[in-house]
């Protein structure tokens, strides 16, 4: 039974992991009555564990295959569809791929290949391999074997089983809530250094295997949550990883006052965070906790997970719209060289929050600029698109009973058709549409107000500063531009998913890593707080002391971030805050993001080499916005803790023509 959210309609699947299954068919039928969809079970019989001690192969040493015990159950026990959809195979946990003893290691490698080959033959959706209990330095052979297996079986999803790691706070035990569930004491921050390292070692081992395998797209995680949890920072690091199966050990549950299994608040919080990524959820059938209530052995656990999932608040309209762009890389827009597609305008015109903020800014401006002689104002809409912002301006003028001449500057020949039709259908006699490059516009009148939504995901990548500068010769001393100020922010990002996506992009002679991308970051983690980068004042005012106006096209900024936990740096996310007028603004910055606004996604500046940042280190990077009179481009580089070459030097891979 697939669990369906009562409001959003989203679904999750829940299964059970067994250390041993005697008969699969009856087990599946029984679990179906408990509400489960799949089983994680050993691929081969556990009798072969004894072979490792004897140092001989149970498969090859017999003179005749008739003398051998069956490797595992018969494939005829299940249908092909059931093998493919209802079974995840678990590789024998007794294999010692990291053993220093050659004979043991070689036998383990041979046995692993035999098991994976059989799972591949049955078309199982995935197999699980336990990560060794050793330091990353000693699991290089394990990582090599995993890498070779991924390449040998290109259609097999391989999952590495890793525990979250635990962190026991010194001098304390887990407390209890009023309903009997555990609740850890987050206020105790003084943790022994060795324990902190132990909590991080699980991720470091996984990171070693993933990196050793070249971030292979078929390598994923079975992540196990047990009774103890590490710190919040360590937990959050897992959210950026590809968790295919989220395994919940029964020892993570405790009975409440009524005897039903529940999770502590910290366990619930992390589980709810995992709901966002919709992995397969799995109960580990380990007899660590006994729940003395009626029902199947796993039914109460499944019902509890379904209950928590059903209580999740549904996503807002903005997030639902953004979902189709999750971790989908799009080239940063080039407004001077390309006409935006109709789908882009559909996406932006559905943003009622954005238009509402612009309307508030325009109304505030109109309320503060009432001409005594009722002269006709001149308003320029930079980038009219299909008329959404023109409609907002006209509605504000009507509400405030103001007369204005609206000049729409638009260079997209396709949206020009929509603009012209809207002007006729709505009777916009005060609207004059000018087709062409705005910088070539010739005007006989001075401008009172400029309104533009050509901000771009970066804040300046649609060249609004250059547009405004190009028409500034027609400004008055008190001309206002909405937005009046734009600040770009950046933050370090870890995301194996996005890094892999960049790797898959065809270069066509240029490096995919030297191009910035627009993306709705989903399976990504912001490592540190955002820092301000570029800043633009619109219009660009003269310096009060010198009377000179300096170009804003070229800027540079060095940014510094504090890194708490060791993690892999895959790039930088870029966002913006725009002050529209006075105290009215919009933001895409995490933490201050304008609620419900979806017009702009974030920008990814990938790093060609993804360094491992040490815990409690300083990450320093430099960003440049450059121009040569013909084009504008961005350059970026890491300065600390390692120095990396400048990316996109001289706009070699990405630039915007001006």
Sign, CA dihedral 500-501-505-510, equals: negative
**What is the spatial distance between Cα 40 and Cα 224, in angstroms, rounded to a whole number?**
13
442 catalytically annotated: no
Beta bridge partners, 620, equal: 560, 640
Residue written as token pair 């710190």: 231
Report the DSSP pairing between strands 3-4 and 11-12.
antiparallel
Annotate 310-329 with b (16+ C-beta within 10 A) or e (fewer): eeeeeeeebeebbeebbbeb
- DSSP-derived letter for residue 169 is P
* 16 cis-preceded (ω within 30 degrees of 0): no
Tokens read off for 67: 């003398």
Active site residue 453: yes
| Residue among 137, 72, 145 at smallest CA distance from 105 | 145
Q: Of 415, 419, 473, which Cα lies nearest the Cα of 441?
A: 473
Among residues 109, 462, 501, 635, which one is catalytic? Answer: 462
266 to 224, 270, 307, 435: CA distances (angstroms): 15, 6, 17, 58
Length of the chain: 658
Cis peptide before 641 (omega within 30 of 0): yes
Active-site hit among 453, 469, 577, 635: 453
Separation between Cα atoms, residue 90 and residue 637, nearest integer Å = 43
Q: Is 616 annotated for ligand binding?
A: no
Residue 589 is given by DSSP the state S
Whether residue 288 contacts residue 255, with contact meaning beta carbons closer than 8 Å, is answered with no
**Beta-strand pair 219-225/158-163:** parallel
Task: Return d(Cα 566, Cα 203) in angstroms, integer.
Answer: 9
Task: Answer whether 261's CB lies under 8 Å from 304's CB.
Answer: yes
Strand order in the sheet with 404-410: 431-435, 404-410, 377-382, 447-452, 475-482
Q: How far is CA 79 from CA 20, 29, 40, 155, 169, in A?
A: 20, 13, 17, 20, 49
Cα(475)–Cα(463) distance, integer angstroms: 18
384 neighbors 431 (Cβ within 8 angstroms): no
CB 283 within 8 A of CB 14: yes
Distance CA 130, CA 495 (A): 23
Residues annotated within the binding site are 410
Give the residue numbers annotated as catalytic, written as ranges.
453, 462
Residues annotated within the binding site for S-adenosyl-L-methionine are 410
């Amino acid at each position: 039974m697939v669990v369906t959210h009562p409001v959003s309609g989203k679904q999750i699947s829940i299964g059970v992991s067994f250390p041993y299954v005697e008969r699969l068919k009856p087990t599946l039928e029984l679990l179906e009555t408990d509400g489960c969809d799949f089983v994680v079970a050993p691929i081969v019989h556990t009798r072969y564990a004894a072979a490792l001690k004897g140092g001989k192969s149970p498969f090859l040493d017999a003179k005749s295959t008739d003398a051998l015990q069956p490797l595992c159950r018969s494939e005829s026990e299940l249908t092909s569809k059931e093998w493919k959809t209802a079974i995840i195979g678990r590789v024998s946990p007794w294999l010692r791929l990291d053993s220093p003893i050659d004979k043991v290691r070689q036998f383990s490698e041979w046995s692993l290949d035999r098991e994976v080959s059989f799972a591949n033959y049955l078309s199982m959706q995935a197999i699980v391999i336990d990560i060794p209990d050793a330091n990353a330095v000693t699991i290089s052979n394990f990582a090599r074997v995993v890498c070779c297996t991924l390449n040998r079986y290109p259609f097999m999803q391989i999952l590495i089983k890793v525990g979250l790691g635990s962190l026991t706070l010194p001098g304390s035990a887990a407390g209890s809530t009023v309903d009997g569930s555990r609740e850890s004491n987050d206020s105790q921050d003084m943790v022994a250094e060795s324990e902190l390292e132990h909590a991080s070692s699980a991720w470091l081992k996984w990171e070693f295997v993933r990196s050793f395998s070249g971030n292979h797209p078929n390598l994923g995680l079975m992540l196990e949550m047990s009774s103890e949890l590490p710190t919040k920072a360590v937990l959050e690091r897992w959210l950026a990883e590809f968790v295919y199966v989220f395994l919940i050990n029964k020892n993570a549950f405790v009975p409440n006052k009524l005897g039903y299994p529940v999770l502590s608040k910290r366990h619930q919080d992390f589980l709810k965070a995992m709901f966002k990524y919709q992995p397969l959820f799995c109960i580990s059938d380990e007899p660590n906790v006994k729940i003395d209530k009626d029902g199947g052995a796993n039914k109460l656990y499944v019902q509890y997970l379904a209950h928590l999932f059903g209580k999740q608040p549904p996503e807002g309209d903005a997030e639902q719209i953004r979902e189709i762009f999750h971790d989908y890389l799009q080239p940063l827009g080039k407004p001077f060289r390309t006409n935006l597609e109709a789908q882009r305008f559909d996406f932006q015109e559905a943003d009622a929050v954005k238009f509402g903020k612009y309307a508030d800014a325009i109304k505030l401006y109109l309320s503060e600029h009432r001409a005594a002689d009722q002269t006709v104002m001149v308003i320029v809409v930079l980038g009219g698109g299909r008329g959404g912002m023109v409609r907002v301006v006209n509605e504000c003028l009507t509400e405030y009973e103001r007369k204005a001449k609206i000049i729409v500057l638009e260079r997209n020949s396709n949206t020009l058709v929509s603009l012209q039709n809207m002007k006729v259908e709505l009777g916009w006699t005060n609207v004059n549409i000018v087709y062409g490059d705005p910088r070539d516009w010739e005007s006989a009148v001075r401008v009172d107000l400029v309104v533009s939504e050509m901000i771009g995901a970066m804040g300046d990548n649609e060249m609004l500063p250059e547009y405004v500068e190009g028409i500034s010769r027609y400004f008055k001393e008190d001309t206002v531009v909405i937005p009046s100020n734009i600040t770009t922010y950046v933050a370090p990002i870890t995301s194996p998913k996005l890094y892999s996506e960049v790797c898959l992009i065809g270069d066509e002679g240029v490096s995919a890593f030297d191009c910035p991308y627009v993306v709705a970051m989903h399976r990504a983690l912001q490592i540190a707080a955002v820092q301000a980068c570029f800043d633009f004042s619109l219009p660009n005012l003269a310096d009060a002391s010198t009377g000179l106006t300096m170009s804003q096209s070229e800027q540079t900024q060095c940014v510094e971030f504090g890194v708490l936990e060791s993690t892999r740096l895959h790039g930088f996310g870029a966002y913006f805050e725009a002050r529209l007028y006075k105290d009215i603004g919009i933001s895409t910055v995490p933490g201050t993001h304008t609620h419900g606004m979806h017009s702009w996604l974030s920008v990814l500046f990938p790093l060609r080499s993804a360094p491992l940042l040490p815990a409690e280190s300083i990450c320093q990077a430099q960003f440049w916005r450059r121009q040569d009179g013909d084009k504008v481009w961005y350059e970026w580089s890491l300065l600390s803790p390692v120095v990396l070459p400048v990316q996109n030097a001289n706009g070699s891979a990405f630039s915007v023509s001006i």
